[in-house]
Amino acid sequence: MKKFALYSMLVAAATFTFSSCSAFLEEHPKDKISEDQAYETPMLVYLTAVASLYTQVGATGGGWGLQGTDRGLYDLNTFTTDEAMIPKRGGDWYDGGVWMNLYLHNWGVNNDLIYSSWNYLYNVIVLSNNSIDKMTEILERNPTNTAIPPYLAEVRAFRAMYYYYLLDLYGRVPLVVSSDTKIQDVVQSDRKVIYDFVVKELQETVADLSVAHSNKPGVYYGRVTQPVAYYLLAKLALNAEIYADNNWTDGVKLDGKDIKFTVDGQQMNAWEAAIAYCNKIENSFGYELASKFADNFSTKNESSVENIFTIPMDPTLYTNEFYYLIRSRHYNQGLAYGQGGWNGACATLDALSVFDYGKDSQDPRFDLSYYHGRVAGPNGQDIKLDDGSYLDYVPEAVKLDLSDSKDQKMAGARMFKYELDEAATNDGKLQSNDVVLYRFADVLLMRSEAKVRNGESGDADFNLVRSRAGAPTLSNVDLPTILDERLRELAWEGHRRQDMIRFGTFTQAYSDRPQLPQEETGFTTVFPIEARILSVNSKLTQNPGY
């Protein structure tokens, strides 16, 4: 069991925090203590204005949380790509066509997943604005209060992280930075305005953040620290061509070499900035690749030397839930451990191809990322189906609609990656493995990519990642090779949509997914502003192409 950390105080923090918003820019304070009382002491300021926000990073369902649950951000970033799908399995997983249409990019402007993700992100931004405004007010009354500035910097960086997700998913969004903003006064900002804001907030606050490893138990466990901020800045620089483009459907692509950053007083292009931020993560904080790939996802992964930002998990300490293993594995596989199984998510044929599944050259990480073939249960005993036959997954039989397939229930390689926690409770949703959001292997692959885009060799970083996995090294790596490597290394981690957009493959046809009419314009690289959001404020306009 994990020892004292930030998250061990969140039960207390919940007494002082606000409830989840049911709609865009609404807030509903819990009537526990007065606002003045909630900020009387440094500890109460911390609990109310900082720790309370971290209760929002994980979740228990309903489209909430950065990862862990369903019908939210993770699904938008995963099941819209060539990495994974949730096929229709006879009467299972049709759900009105939501999963099939998500994969086909046929999501429309009335979509609960798109709506819930928007509401979740803005809910946290509203709560962050409340904290920032209150701490700013306290600081104005007492400029010598030394406890407030570090907390204020942390919450600004935390809010910037949430705007990063909005920027990535929706492009043109309202920039709301005050709790006094009325819904009728909200206006939409160009994508580059949001991009510049996020970069500026992170650059201005990073020096005041802790240097602690956020993934390690302790005071800064699960919090935004300097390495987390530098990781986000590296992502922002690497995706500069996408995020700085206000007109992403006009056919004119920006060039990262023309987009300028200032890092430590030196002007750099976007690729040089990405390299510089990755260098900071490696050189200033001591991150390295774990000796074993699987260690990052084990039941004791809070000791990982590689993980940078995680959602702390513990069956007895926290309520954050993790659905992904359950949602993927067959009913009987979960039942063998006294847990749940929903028999849904699986790898696509394209993903199998990238891993060289079934060939002598099959990547070693395939066995560490997917259940496939016959699956053993507790004590190594093969798991059986209800008819007495063995549970035997058939990866290559997968297709979007399995209704007429003899492998309807068995088709598709299933999510493995996280070590199965036999002691997990609540059907397996409450586990000990922390949910991995950002890790150092991604930093190395980002730096490799940025070097290649800048006309340099990316071989060294690329091969560090491959060598750790036991894969043969390659030379003269190019961008398509790096995109494939990112899937092999980062499968199931929620990065694929962003990667495919950056590499220009997201709108192309792939396994069981034809290109939509007009999709070559790139309009599906951002999601629509959901119809219920537009109905709230007539000043908001729809993204192009919808």
Residue 210 scores a pLDDT above 50: yes
Q: Residues 125-178: pLDDT tens digits?
A: 999 999 999 999 999 999 998 889 999 999 999 999 999 999 999 999 999 999
Which amino acid is it at 262?
A: T
Residue 3 scores a pLDDT above 60: no
List Cβ neighbours of 423 (8 Å cut-off, separation of 6 or more). 299, 315, 432
| DSSP per-residue codes, 313-378 | --TTT------HHHHHS-HHHHHTTTS------EE-HHHHHHTTTTSTT--THHHHHEE-EE-B-G
Q: How confident is the model at residue 6 (pLDDT cuts 50, 70, 90)?
A: very low
Pair of tokens at residue 69: 């649950």
Residue 31 scores a pLDDT above 60: no
**For residue 513, what pLDDT is reported?**
98
Q: Give the other-Cβ count within 10 Å of 537's Cβ.
A: 17
Please, are residues 126 and 23 in contact by the beta-carbon 8 Å criterion? no
**For residue 183, what pLDDT is reported?**
76
Q: Residues 180-194: pLDDT tens digits?
A: 988 778 899 999 999
Interatomic CA distance for residues 124 and 163, integer angstroms: 10
Nearest in space to 501 (alpha carbons), one of 241, 199, 191: 241
E strands, 160-246, in order: 173-174, 188-189
**For residue 185, what pLDDT is reported?**
83
Q: Residues 223-257: pLDDT tens digits?
A: 999 999 999 999 999 999 999 999 999 999 999 99
Interatomic CA distance for residues 20 and 40, integer angstroms: 24
What residue has token string 């007495």?
A: 388
List Cβ neighbours of 23 (8 Å cut-off, separation of 6 or more). 119, 536
Residue 10 scores a pLDDT above 90: no
Q: How confident is the model at residue 353 (pLDDT cuts 50, 70, 90)?
A: very high
Question: Cα 68 vs. chain centroid, distance in angstroms?
Answer: 9
Interatomic CA distance for residues 172 and 401, integer angstroms: 34
**For residue 26, what pLDDT is reported?**
52
Report the pLDDT averaged over residues 87-113.
Answer: 97
**For residue 22, what pLDDT is reported?**
38
| DSSP per-residue codes, 435-487 | EEEEEHHHHHHHHHHHHHHTTS--HHHHHHHHHHHTPPP-SS--HHHHHHHHH
Q: Specify the DSSP element, H or E, that contains 308.
A: strand 307-311
List Cβ neighbours of 91 (8 Å cut-off, separation of 6 or more). none
List Cβ neighbours of 342 (8 Å cut-off, separation of 6 or more). 326, 327, 328, 329, 331, 334
Residue 27 scores a pLDDT above 90: no
Considering only residues 231 and 28, tell me which one the structure prediction assigns the higher pLDDT: 231
Q: How confident is the model at residue 33 (pLDDT cuts 50, 70, 90)?
A: low
The three-point CA angle 197-277-500 to 5° equals 75
Considering only residues 147 and 526, tell me which one the structure prediction assigns the higher pLDDT: 526
Mean pLDDT for all residues in the chain: 93
**For residue 45, what pLDDT is reported?**
87
Q: How far is CA 29 from CA 19, 40, 51, 64, 130, in A?
A: 6, 18, 16, 18, 11
Q: Is 378 exposed, middle or buried (0-12, 13-18, 19+ CB in 10 A)?
A: exposed
Interatomic CA distance for residues 482 and 463, integer angstroms: 11
Q: Tell me the whole-structure pTM to 2 decimals.
A: 0.94
Q: Give the other-Cβ count within 10 Å of 377's Cβ.
A: 17
Interatomic CA distance for residues 304 and 286, integer angstroms: 12
Q: Residues 440-498: pLDDT tens digits?
A: 999 999 999 999 999 999 999 999 999 999 999 999 999 999 999 999 999 999 999 99
Please, are residues 443 and 357 in contact by the beta-carbon 8 Å criterion? no
Considering only residues 270 and 3, tell me which one the structure prediction assigns the higher pLDDT: 270
- Between helix 270-285 and helix 226-238 the angle, nearest 10°, is 160
**For residue 24, what pLDDT is reported?**
54
Q: Residues 371-408: pLDDT tens digits?
A: 999 999 998 999 999 999 999 999 999 999 999 999 99
Interatomic CA distance for residues 443 and 237, integer angstroms: 12
Residue 13 scores a pLDDT above 70: no
